[in-house]
Chain A
Amino acid sequence: MTKGNDVNHVITALLENRRGVLARVVDLISGRGFNILSLNVAPTHDNTLSRMTMTIKGDDHVLEQVTKQLNKLVDVVDVSDLSQKRHISAELLLIEVSATPSERAEMAKLAELHDATVVCVHPNSMTIQMAGELDKVEDFLNLLQEGQVYELIRTGVIISPRDGTVNSEQ
């Protein structure tokens, strides 16, 4: 098989909300040699189901295999690779950045320009909360200087089809 270019794929899956199911999914991915870049799991409006969203780097062929393999798991009710379709994505971040008293105003302004909020101010730093589409988040992070970020905590991306839901179960 010819190998294509490695790109980030965002896979979303509906799982039975039961003990051990997440471990099963993660086992399958790691057992086949993939590194999960981000992972987010929580129950849906239907309490018996959990929604899992994960970002994996790989070419189209291997990602197709991953989705097929996931689909085969009995505890996985539905799987799709939404990054290849029109979608809405979002991620929540907490970023602690360097901000001495004299730099506070400028940093707060930069955050505001990106719809981010200062949630906590420390003597020489501040914590900014940001939520949004992946591109917007990346734009903001790119503006921050090297050494300026003390802590970066991300929830991992979540994703939804722009044309409405793709999962027949919902």
Chain B
Amino acid sequence: MKTGAECILQGLQDAGVETVFGLPGGAVLDLFAALYRSPIEFLLTRHEQGATHMADGYARATGKTGCCIVTSGPGATNAVTGLATAHMDGIPMVCISGQVPSAMIGNDAFQEADTVGITRAVTKHNCMVRHVDDIPRIIAEAFHIANTGKPGPVLIDIPKDMQSASTDVVVAGDLNIRGYQDTFISDDKQIDALAEAINSSKKPVLYVGGGVIASGATAELTALARKTRIPVTTTLLGLGAFPETDPLTLRMLGMHGSVMANRAVSHCDLLISVGARFDDRVTGRMDMFAQNAKIAHIDIDPCAIGKSVAVDLPVLGDAKDILIKLLDRVEEIDRGPWMTEVAGWQKSFQFEYDKNESELLPQFVIEKIYEVTGGDAIITTEVGQHQMWAAHFFKYTQPRTFISSGGLGTMGYGVPAAIGAQAGCRDKLVVCIAGDGSVQMNIQELVVAVENDLPIKIIILNNGYLGMVRQWQEMFYNKEYSATPLLPGRYARREKVPQSDYLPDFIKIAEAHGAKGIRVGEKDKVAATLEEAFAYNGPVVVEFIVKPEENVYPMVPPGAGLMEMIQSMA
């Protein structure tokens, strides 16, 4: 005999959960009473959005399913952005929300919200518990659904009376979800056809997304690329799936991708997509995307294949399984002319910035982070210009070291994601690269890092703007900086603001939360400051006052093709 709450925690333990993020409330009091006596580690967040992003960051860093607990009503609605973020990027997560007692559902009870209805479109699956006997099965199913197939978030809404009720059914039993397909046996004919296309291709390119990391297939992908000598470009979420220090790397492609990657994709005769979904930020103008190429698409999600582009060679299934089979069937072929062409682009079109600039540039800071860490760190980002620079000027060589909200583009993600990543990887250096705009969206979570001895390093590139939006206003909206300067109201324009009048004071924010704060505005102090921050035994906020109106280049303007890149304003 167990209570529903005890069954929930037993279910979490059976699923291998070690750490849970969340915030209590009236509708989850029973669950928290059971948690009090449970061996599971609980990290108390200061906002439910923080809890979801921490579970997400934990999942991305460790490969395990992230888990969070929130209360009913506002607790659940606060979790929506985090669920949507995980849903877009295919991150395994289980979110348990409390609900008002069954008898009160539909009565507009205190802290009642239709959580299942509200989160339907932002979860892989969700459900409400109707009978306490169902809890063990529902918890087991939730973890199974979250981390098989294309992973995603699952929400379980549990009324208060279901948590306090008792049941004899304390084990989940065998899983049999008849409407859910969790494994896809790859089709040998599809793999043969792809192998043949690779063997006869003169100009192939591998285009790699987050699915390769989710599948744990980075070693297989690297082996395939090296055996066949096929150059590799990755999406933002694919960073770390292939070593960016390898001679075959083309770095990231797309709107803010490298010129070399976008040229290679535009000129290739075979584009092999692995675990990527042809997002509009990757393809640019669709009718100009990989115009001369046959398109092969390896994906575990049947919906992704043929959604945005017509696919010539579909291969449905798990990337690792398919790449292993493919590796045996491809030949080592000398594609001299293509390699020469690619090498030419690699020589001419690396990511660049003005190294002679006397003012501190954000790109310089990222480059120094790369140098000081030697590339050995988990990087999380917020969303905006700094996110793109973090992709450009740090070279990722290992999976699960670049953690960023790609699909939804959630500002406020980076700080809690860093805390979640650090909670899952205690012995790694975790660095959150942030802008002064988005870092403010979940800065309240900094106290969670301090309380739990999670020594994350938050690097704020402060340019006094919502920089990416300002860049679009500069380029496409007549330089009318509507609502993008982040400065005291008495200043009309950013450039007149003395550094001492910047608001908020991030050093005071850091110190108010019990963290260390350091402000730097000079180039020559960057490396030493980073070394100091990384060596410090605790959370640190380092604020770099950078050149205000620096832009992210190269850039494919919205609506343009990948060959139409702007490389600078000059």
Judged by a CB distance under 8 angstroms, whether A81 is at the interface is no
Give residues 38-94 of A contacting B (CB, 8 Å): 61, 64-65, 68-69, 71-77
Whether B302 lies near A72 (C-beta < 8 A) is yes
Whether B303 lies near A169 (C-beta < 8 A) is no
From B120, B306, B310, A23 is in contact (CB under 8 Å) with B120
Judged by a CB distance under 8 angstroms, whether B479 is at the interface is no
Judged by a CB distance under 8 angstroms, whether B337 is at the interface is no
C-alpha spacing A68/B301, complex, angstroms: 9
C-alpha spacing A160/B301, complex, angstroms: 28
Whether A31 lies near B121 (C-beta < 8 A) is yes
C-alpha spacing A69/B304, complex, angstroms: 10
Whether B145 lies near A27 (C-beta < 8 A) is no
Known: A24-B120, A27-B120, A74-B125. A65 touches B307 (CB 8 A): yes
Judged by a CB distance under 8 angstroms, whether B308 is at the interface is yes
Distance between A113 CB and nearest chain B CB, rounded to angstroms: 45
Give residues 6-26 of A contacting B (CB, 8 Å): 16, 19-20, 23-24
Known: A1-B309, A69-B303. A16 touches B179 (CB 8 A): yes
User: Within 8 Å CB of A74, what residues of B?
Assistant: 124-125, 145, 177, 179-180
Judged by a CB distance under 8 angstroms, whether B117 is at the interface is yes
Whether B303 lies near A68 (C-beta < 8 A) is yes
From B179, B181, B302, A75 is in contact (CB under 8 Å) with B179
Distance between B199 CB and nearest chain A CB, rounded to angstroms: 28
Chain B interface, DSSP helix/strand/loop, else mixed: loop
Distance between A150 CB and nearest chain B CB, rounded to angstroms: 37
Judged by a CB distance under 8 angstroms, whether B34 is at the interface is no
Distance between A25 CB and nearest chain B CB, rounded to angstroms: 10
In the complex formed, the residue of A with least CB distance to B177 is: A74
C-alpha spacing A1/B309, complex, angstroms: 6
Whether A73 lies near B179 (C-beta < 8 A) is yes
Whether B121 lies near A72 (C-beta < 8 A) is no
Distance between A59 CB and nearest chain B CB, rounded to angstroms: 13
Known: A27-B121, A31-B121. A77 touches B303 (CB 8 A): no
In the complex formed, the residue of B with least CB distance to A71 is: B302
Known: A23-B120, A27-B121, A31-B121. A77 touches B179 (CB 8 A): yes
User: Within 8 Å CB of B128, what residues of A?
Assistant: 19-20
In the complex formed, the residue of A with least CB distance to B303 is: A68
User: Within 8 Å CB of B303, what residues of A?
Assistant: 65, 68-69, 72
Distance between B7 CB and nearest chain A CB, rounded to angstroms: 20
In the complex formed, the residue of A with least CB distance to B301 is: A72
User: Within 8 Å CB of A69, what residues of B?
Assistant: 303
Whether B121 lies near A169 (C-beta < 8 A) is no
From A16, A23, A31, A73, B117 is in contact (CB under 8 Å) with A23
Judged by a CB distance under 8 angstroms, whether B37 is at the interface is no
User: Within 8 Å CB of A68, what residues of B?
Assistant: 302-303
Whether B306 lies near A64 (C-beta < 8 A) is yes
Judged by a CB distance under 8 angstroms, whether B17 is at the interface is no
Distance between B269 CB and nearest chain A CB, rounded to angstroms: 21
Distance between B125 CB and nearest chain A CB, rounded to angstroms: 5
C-alpha spacing A50/B335, complex, angstroms: 56
Judged by a CB distance under 8 angstroms, whether B441 is at the interface is no
Whether A76 lies near B179 (C-beta < 8 A) is yes
Distance between B69 CB and nearest chain A CB, rounded to angstroms: 22
C-alpha spacing A16/B177, complex, angstroms: 10
User: Within 8 Å CB of B177, what residues of A?
Assistant: 74
Distance between A131 CB and nearest chain B CB, rounded to angstroms: 31
User: Within 8 Å CB of B307, what residues of A?
Assistant: 65
Residues of A with Cβ closer than 8 Å to B? 1, 16, 19-20, 23-24, 27-28, 31, 61, 64-65, 68-69, 71-77, 169
8 interchain residue pairs of minimum CB distance = A77-B179, A74-B125, A68-B303, A74-B180, A68-B302, A74-B179, A27-B120, A76-B179
Q: List 22 A-B contacts (CB under 8 A).
A: A1-B286, A1-B306, A1-B309, A1-B310, A19-B128, A20-B117, A20-B127, A24-B120, A27-B121, A28-B121, A31-B121, A64-B306, A65-B303, A68-B303, A71-B302, A72-B302, A72-B303, A73-B125, A73-B179, A74-B124, A74-B177, A77-B179
Other A-B pairs beyond A1-B306, A73-B125, 16, CB < 8 Å: A1-B308, A1-B309, A20-B128, A23-B117, A23-B120, A24-B120, A28-B121, A68-B302, A68-B303, A71-B302, A72-B303, A74-B124, A74-B125, A74-B145, A76-B179, A77-B179
